[in-house]
Each structure stands twice: as C-alpha cells, then as structure tokens.
Amino acid sequence: MDKYQGLLKAHNLKSTHQRLAILKNISDAGHIDVEFLYSKLLEKFSSLSKATLYRNINDLLASNIIEEIKLPELKQQYEIKKEPHIHLLCKNCHNVKDINYNLDSVYSEISKDNKFKIEKSFIVIKGLCSNCV
C-alpha cells in the first residue's frame, strides 16, 4: 500500500499500522460505514480502539483522502476520494456501483435557469441491480 503511504506523507500524517489498515479496508469495500469498518478492522487488528477509528476518519476527511457519502436510508458511508461519479444503490443487496455519466449540458442549463453557480453534485440512484431483479 505504498500509494497510501505517499498520500499520508503528503498531508503530514504518519503512516501508522492503523491508518493503513483503515484505508485498505475502505478501499476494499468501496463504500463502508463506521460500524462495519470497525468490525472488519478488529478481525486483523484486535486492539484497535474506536476512538482511534473516529479520530482517523476525521483526519482523513480533513485531508480529503476519504469522503463522506450519504445514501438514503443507510448509515453514513465513507469512500476513498475519487473523481466525481454517480452512485447506483441497489435497494435489495445494498451494493453500490460507481458510474460516470456526463451531465455538463444539464448542469449548464440548471445553472443558467436558477442563477446558481454549481460546484459539485451528489447523485444517488436507487433501484435494483442486475443480480437482484
């Protein structure tokens, strides 16, 4: 996980055992909430304290290494910061798929019609994935 060591160093955060495990688990999961993340971490790292997890989540958020995503009806989720994308959330298996779709023309129209300077959009589409139909 050299990738993360560099990222951490770039933000003056030490590459601890715990942090690397947190990042690896978030990355593996794609999207994960605190409780589930904690249980995964305990498997390999039985002494990890929840305070450390919370502190790290906050530090990593502050450094923009991870970001919060809010999905309807689910607990707050975290993911490794990536390019903006749309989330497809399956209401059955709760799997989340990231997709890209260019909405520039939509945004420019919305922006003009509402005199609103758009910075970022958050889109979640809920439904049934191909495995659950």
Residues contacting DNA: total by CB under 7 A: 24
Yes or no: say if 32 and 77 are a contact pair by the CB < 8 Å rule: yes
Cα–Cα–Cα angle for 66, 64, 83, rounded to 5 degrees: 70
Among 27, 59, 86, 88, binds DNA (CB under 7 A): 59
- Residue 101 CB neighbour total at 10 angstroms: 9
Yes or no: say if 30 and 96 are a contact pair by the CB < 8 Å rule: yes
16 binds DNA (CB under 7 A): yes
CB of 2 to a copy of itself, least distance (A): 31
28 binds a copy of itself (CB under 8 A): no
For residue 94, give every residue at least 6 positions away whose Cβ sits within 8 Å of its Cβ, in sequence order, or none. Answer: 74
Yes or no: say if 110 and 102 are a contact pair by the CB < 8 Å rule: no
121 binds DNA (CB under 7 A): no
42 binds a copy of itself (CB under 8 A): no
Among 2, 47, 113, 117, binds DNA (CB under 7 A): 47
Residues that bind a copy of itself (CB under 8 A): 68, 70-73, 86, 88, 90-91, 97, 99, 101, 103, 106-107, 109-111, 113-130, 133
